[in-house]
């Protein structure tokens, strides 16, 4: 049986392709009882998504996915059940957004030097005037025939050592956890099996995360294998972390990350949504 809760998804407010309203409607049609919207470094889409969820009777959890630089590598931390009106959170996200704006222009300059003009403008058009991510550059490069698909763009243009890669510093792990906690939410390490970490290094991350006040691990992810889910369940138990589950849905173009298909949490996990057992959150019983 699939989970009826999904705590990681993107809209056009970051690099998803459905608007917050369309995403919520799609989640409902897909059989979900509860969805969290977790756009990269912005809460822009939350009000629209929450209003639509209320109108159609879907449980909704306001969230965000913040980018972190930890040990010179990028780690994503999802904040769940946050209050987006929190000034500390918004001040922190503003810094991330400013870095994104600068990085986007720098990516445009570097791609231009590599013989690909107009990438900044192209990515900006794909972003619809909202936050710009590498995915928007990838869509522009695919559209202009520089690569066959988005994955190939990342591999050949946007990752370390490639022409469009811009090194830089996201927020620290401790800062991001602090913003999320200030906003009343729970911090969750996103898609933990996706990082190129050894077991030892992952456990070092989890130890530091717990120390900083982090509370959850995305045990079940759309980008995990079954084995990954079981491995992460053990880590969650070892570090006494709540278990979260999220598809990391970005839109119908990537059908392997569809909504409503997440497997149940492995036995022994403590679902993070147990913390939210209030009558206003139907997901607490649905999943």
Cα separation of the two ends of the chain: 10
Strand 216-221: give its sheet, edge to edge.
Answer: 5-6, 34-37, 59-70, 73-80, 186-189, 216-221, 242-246
Residues comprising the chain, all counted = 287
**How far apart are CB 34 and ligand AMP at their closest, in Å?**
22
Which is nearer to ligand AMP, 58 or 68 (by Cβ)? 68
Spatial contact of 193 and 199, defined as CB atoms under 8 Å apart:
no
Residue 133 interacts with ligand AMP (CB under 6 A): yes or no: yes
**Contacts with Mn ion: how many residues (CB under 5 A)?**
5
Which residues between 33 and 52 bind ligand AMP (CB under 6 A)?
A: 40
Distance in angstroms (rounded) separating the CA atoms of residues 213 and 174: 8
- Coil, strand, or helix at residue 258? coil
Spatial contact of 7 and 78, defined as CB atoms under 8 Å apart:
yes
Residue 218 interacts with ligand AMP (CB under 6 A): yes or no: no
Which residues between 50 and 79 bind Mn ion (CB under 5 A)?
A: 65, 76
Distance in angstroms (rounded) separating the CA atoms of residues 38 and 49: 11
Question: Which among 77-85, 109-117, 127-135, 181-189 is the span making contact with ligand AMP, rule CB under 6 A?
Answer: 127-135
Spatial contact of 183 and 83, defined as CB atoms under 8 Å apart:
yes
**How far apart are CB 275 and ligand AMP at their closest, in Å?**
25
Which residues between 154 and 213 bind Mn ion (CB under 5 A)?
A: 190
Binding test (CB under 6 A) with ligand AMP, winner from 3, 13, 27, 150? 150
Residue 218 interacts with Mn ion (CB under 5 A): yes or no: no
Chain residues that interact with Mn ion, rule: CB under 5 A: 15, 65, 76, 190, 248
Query: Can you give the binding site for ligand AMP, defined by CB under 6 A?
Result: 15, 40, 67, 133-135, 150-151, 154, 250
């Amino acid at each position: 049986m699939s989970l009826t809760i999904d705590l990681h998804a993107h809209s056009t407010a970051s690099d998803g392709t459905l608007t917050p309203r369309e995403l919520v409607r799609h989640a409902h049609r897909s059989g979900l009882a509860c969805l969290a919207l977790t756009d990269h470094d912005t809460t822009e889409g939350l009000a629209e998504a929450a209003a639509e969820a209320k109108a159609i009777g879907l449980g909704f959890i306001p969230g965000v996915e913040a980018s972190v630089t930890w040990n010179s590598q990028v780690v994503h931390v999802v904040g769940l059940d946050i209050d987006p009106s929190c000034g500390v959170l918004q001040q922190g996200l503003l810094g991330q957004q400013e870095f994104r704006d600068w990085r986007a222009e720098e990516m445009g300059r570097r791609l231009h030097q590599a013989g690909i003009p107009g990438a900044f403008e192209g990515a900006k058009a794909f972003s619809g005037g909202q936050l710009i991510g590498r995915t928007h550059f990838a869509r522009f490069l695919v559209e202009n025939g520089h690569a066959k698909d988005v994955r190939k763009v990342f591999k050949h243009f946007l990752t370390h050592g490639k022409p469009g890669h811009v090194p830089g510093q996201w927020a620290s792990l401790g800062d991001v956890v602090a913003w999320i906690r200030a906003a009343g939410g729970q911090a969750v390490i996103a898609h933990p099996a996706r990082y190129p970490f050894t077991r030892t290094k992952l456990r070092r991350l989890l130890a530091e995360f717990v120390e900083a006040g982090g509370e959850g691990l995305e045990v079940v992810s759309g980008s995990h294998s079954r084995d990954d889910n079981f491995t992460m369940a053990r880590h969650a138990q070892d570090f006494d972390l709540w278990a979260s589950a999220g598809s990391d849905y970005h839109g119908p173009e990537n059908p392997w990350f569809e909504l409503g298909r997440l497997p149940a949490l492995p036995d022994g996990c403590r679902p993070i949504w147990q913390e939210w057992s209030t009558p206003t959150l139907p997901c607490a019983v649905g999943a």
